[in-house]
Structure formats: C-alpha cells, structure tokens
Amino acid sequence: MFEAPKINRNIGQVLKSYLRVLKLSKKPSREEFLMISKVAGAGILLIGFVGFIIYVLLTEVPKWV
C-alpha cells in the first residue's frame, strides 16, 4: 500500500552513485582549467555570434523586401 521503502531505497542508490562519482573525481590542473575555460568561452562567443547574425537577418531582411 505504501511506497515509502521503495522510494527510500532508490534515493539511497542514487546517493551512493553520486558519492562514487565524487570519489573518482579530482581537481583539474591549471592547464586543464585554462583549456576548459578557453573552450567554454569560445562556445559562448560562437553562440552569441550566431544569435546576432540571426537577429540582424530577421531585422534587416524585411526592410529589403
């Protein structure tokens, strides 16, 4: 009738898997951190540039037609 034990068991399994991942993880070196920062920054700039191009096309193209 009650599903509480099943939910508690699932939460326990999820927490165990989270702890296992945290135990395997390590702090990145300075070089790794800088590389990740550069890649993330380049991705943000690329997405922003694509958005700007779409904005310009949607605002300027109707004026030409």
**DSSP letters spanning 19-43:** HHHHHH--PPPHHHHHHHHHHHHHH
Q: How confident is the model at residue 4 (pLDDT cuts 50, 70, 90)?
A: low
Given this model, what pLDDT does residue 48 score? 98
DSSP category for residue 29:
P
Q: How far apart are CA 41 and CA 20, in angstroms?
A: 30
Q: How far apart are CA 42 and CA 34, in angstroms?
A: 12
Q: Which residues contact 28 (CB under 8 A, 6 or more apart)?
A: 36
- Percent residues over pLDDT 70 in the chain: 86
Mean pLDDT value across residues 23-33:
94
